[in-house]
Amino acid sequence: MKDLNNIDFEKGGGLVPAIVQDTFSKEVLMLGYMNKEALQTTLETGKVTFFSRTKQRLWTKGESSGNFLLLKSMELDCDQDTLLVRVEPVGPVCHKGTDTCFGTGNQSKTAFIDMLRATIKDRKQHPSDKSYTASLFAKGINKVAQKVGEEAVEIVIEAKDDNKELFLGEAADLLYHFLVLLEAKDYELDEVMAVLIDRHK
């Protein structure tokens, strides 16, 4: 929520476009408009509020349907006249009942991996005694690699059964520890993705 004091409302006659994006999937959900009051209400309540140009009043998304947009972060563009509003949507966003106002789905949560990567990097750079991730880094690369091996064996074992909950739990453990290993080696997941992209050509 930085630089919001510099928003140029005057350029758009008192309104600025607000592009709404799912904070986890990065899917663009809708476009609305905010005036100063809508912005203030959004920041105070944590529920995204727009100025309705047709009704000429403030309008909190979900006020009638219950499908609110819960504010996670907000950024101002380089021209200071457009907002990027990152949210956690509660239910469908469009009044037509679709996930977005552009007819696209919003089911993927894989962008959360980037948030997890950032958290892992922060635990490495700013260790805490209360952090499990920091404790792994403190034990060194051999321990981190060992944990990846252990989790890989455990997911193989679970794959032989039909317990979805246990399998997904082990899959989550393996993915997390793999990301920790990458950070311990000072490699980026993007470098792994580059290899996959190159192989896909």
Tens digit of pLDDT for each residue in 68-109? Answer: 999 999 999 999 999 999 999 999 999 999 999 999 999 888
pLDDT value, residue 4: 83
Question: Which candidate, 130, 149, 131, places its Cα nearest to that of 141?
Answer: 149
Give the C-alpha separation, 38 to 119, whole Å. 31
pLDDT digits (tens, 9 = 90+) for 152-192: 999 999 999 999 999 999 999 999 999 999 999 999 999 99
Q: Can you list the domains of the chain with their CATH numbers? A: 4-89 (3.10.20.810), 112-200 (1.10.287.1080)
Residue with tokens 């996959």: 196
Report the first-to-last Cα separation within the chain, whole angstroms: 40
CB atoms within 10 A of CB 12: 15
Give the global pTM. 0.74
Average pLDDT, the chain: 95
DSSP string of 110-176, one letter each residue: TTHHHHHHHHHHHHHHS--TT-HHHHHHHH-HHHHHHHHHHHHHHHHHHHTS--HHHHHHHHHHHHH
What is the per-residue pLDDT for 107? Answer: 86
- For a pLDDT cut of 90, what percent of the chain falls above it? 91
